[in-house]
Chain A
């Protein structure tokens, strides 16, 4: 049934040119390096490298393969979305990548280091904002620095800058219960970015927000990404969202969860909301939608 081959090995080459120099203020341009098209075992070119990664859960009703062996390479500074229906293992993949769940088999390397336990070098955003109700917005963000034992004064300064970037400068002293859902999620994104992680992992971060707020947060996120050099793994079940944000879209299918294909999105940056009406955007959108249709995952709600 799978019509599309697992396309992970061609990760680096095809879309590198299309992305221009978005996050390339420092270091040699990665696109100039020889792309390791053939040998997927080479990891020197990729920031994240998953090899034969799989996860199964053992419950009362036997063993369930949540994630079939997966190979994936993500370059430094790349924005990769993982899209698929419920039960396709995309959240499992994200948990494995964050080291919050042990893998059944396979290896994960992030920034050249194998991930064995909880990976503290990342920033993480969940669907629920999980703000601490007993702390103000800025205290929630600075918590990141407190736990890590970083300089408090510098952290407060950075937190204020982040809040300003997402339009919440006036709400630094507000408690979470005084903020709207969209504001709360923005604070949680700021918290994830405080320590300038090289990898930001987001698990359906905008899934609980209304459509308008969602659009706004996508724009906010793109602005934050343009400002920082970081790799983003973005789990979603919205095709439009995935295409709009990403350099590449990883399409997953369920039972067992596996990577169906990986689509490069060669739309120019910076991206604007109006871009979603362009033929190029529609083309990508349809490509993913058709793929899900062919997989029998039909009524996938997109936004």
Chain B
């Protein structure tokens, strides 16, 4: 039951090298179509601003956008790192203890059926109005795929590999650090990549519910003021942040796991 929505494994070799120019080209064509359609049909700016108008807005308000971006970036990063720090150890505990697995696992799954937006007001009540409730919601959204994928990774170690470790006289700790953990890393990383995307979503959801800064807050305020071009500015910056963040985790993965299939994509083989 590997959760691998982002397609870390099994990509066609040789695709990455070509991905960037192609993707830029696609974006460019879409922008041109968008611009053309807005101009051709005379779409009013309060319904759909043209890319050019959005560009102007970003240029005019870049300082404000940047300030709010930093806040969102901080929330995303803090929540993301906390998700890893919480998710992986939970997976380890659940892997080694059948009792705890039966005790904790259904709760974990159950916790995911609750919409995080519904929990956001609760987090505000518990953690106040600052950054803490946002980070908490990011963790709630992002830690689950890390737990699940880490569990799958730890459990996928072939029993013979653990027998081998024992026959070498490895201690349980050595067996974990030298065999089980490295074996599970690719799977853990596909969870981490999912979490990277979800963390951005979580931060924005949290800012929607109660915030006085951040890109999500900006979108809310701009919406209530009918500043639709500013809404678009914030959305575009958010998506760029999300993409950059995802790409960064992929970069770290390739540096850490050069031996794995997902890292070999792009060697041009």
CB neighbours (8 Å) of A134 from chain B are 182, 185, 257, 259-260
Q: List B221-257 residues whose CB lies under 8 Å from chain A.
A: 257
Partner of B168, one of A126, A127, A144, A177: A144
Task: Tell me, rounded to whole Å, the shortest Cβ–Cβ distance linking A113 to chain B.
Answer: 14
CA distance A120 to B170 in the complex (A): 9
* B183 & A132 in contact (Cβ 8 Å cutoff): yes
CA distance A29 to B160 in the complex (A): 36
* B167 & A98 in contact (Cβ 8 Å cutoff): yes
* A148 & B168 in contact (Cβ 8 Å cutoff): yes
CA distance A130 to B164 in the complex (A): 8
Closest to A127 in B: B160
Q: Total A-B pairs in contact (CB under 8 Å)?
A: 58
CB neighbours (8 Å) of A147 from chain B are 165, 168-170, 174, 178
Q: B42 at interface (Cβ–Cβ under 8 A)? A: no
* A126 & B160 in contact (Cβ 8 Å cutoff): yes
* B160 & A119 in contact (Cβ 8 Å cutoff): no
Q: A157 at interface (Cβ–Cβ under 8 A)? A: no
Q: List A116-142 residues whose CB lies under 8 Å from chain B.
A: 118-120, 122-124, 126-128, 130, 132-135
Task: Tell me, rounded to whole Å, the shortest Cβ–Cβ distance linking A220 to chain B.
Answer: 20
CA distance A128 to B165 in the complex (A): 14
Closest to B161 in A: A130
Partner of B169, one of A118, A128, A135, A175: A118
Q: B105 at interface (Cβ–Cβ under 8 A)? A: no
Q: A156 at interface (Cβ–Cβ under 8 A)? A: no
Q: B158 at interface (Cβ–Cβ under 8 A)? A: yes
Q: List A166-185 residues whose CB lies under 8 Å from chain B.
A: 175, 177
Count of chain B residues near A, Cβ 8 A: 22
* B260 & A133 in contact (Cβ 8 Å cutoff): yes
CB neighbours (8 Å) of A123 from chain B are 167
CA distance A87 to B261 in the complex (A): 36
Q: B34 at interface (Cβ–Cβ under 8 A)? A: no
Closest to B166 in A: A118
CA distance A120 to B169 in the complex (A): 5
CA distance A127 to B170 in the complex (A): 21
CA distance A63 to B239 in the complex (A): 59
Q: B163 at interface (Cβ–Cβ under 8 A)? A: yes
CB neighbours (8 Å) of B74 from chain A are none
Q: B176 at interface (Cβ–Cβ under 8 A)? A: no
Closest to B157 in A: A130
Closest to A98 in B: B167
* B163 & A98 in contact (Cβ 8 Å cutoff): yes
CB neighbours (8 Å) of B161 from chain A are 130, 132
Among B174, B183, B185, B259, the one with the most A-chain Cβ atoms within 10 Å of its Cβ is B259
CB neighbours (8 Å) of B158 from chain A are 128, 130
CA distance A124 to B160 in the complex (A): 10
CB neighbours (8 Å) of A135 from chain B are 259
CA distance A249 to B214 in the complex (A): 75
Closest to A119 in B: B167
* A124 & B164 in contact (Cβ 8 Å cutoff): yes
Closest to A120 in B: B169
Q: A143 at interface (Cβ–Cβ under 8 A)? A: yes
Partner of A126, one of B164, B257, B264: B164
Q: List A184-236 residues whose CB lies under 8 Å from chain B.
A: none
Partner of A124, one of B163, B183, B264: B163
* B183 & A100 in contact (Cβ 8 Å cutoff): no
CA distance A123 to B163 in the complex (A): 11
Q: Supply 20 further A-B pairs (C-beta < 8 A) apart from A118-B167, A133-B260, A175-B259.
A: A98-B167, A100-B163, A100-B167, A120-B166, A124-B164, A124-B167, A126-B160, A126-B163, A127-B160, A128-B160, A130-B161, A132-B161, A132-B183, A133-B259, A134-B182, A134-B185, A147-B165, A147-B168, A147-B169, A177-B261
A interface list, Cβ under 8 A from B: 95, 98, 100, 118-120, 122-124, 126-128, 130, 132-135, 143-144, 146-148, 175, 177
Give 8 CB contacts A-B under 8 Å: A118-B169, A130-B160, A132-B161, A132-B182, A133-B259, A146-B178, A147-B178, A177-B261
Top 3 nearest A-B pairs (CB, nearest first) are A120-B169, A118-B166, A147-B168
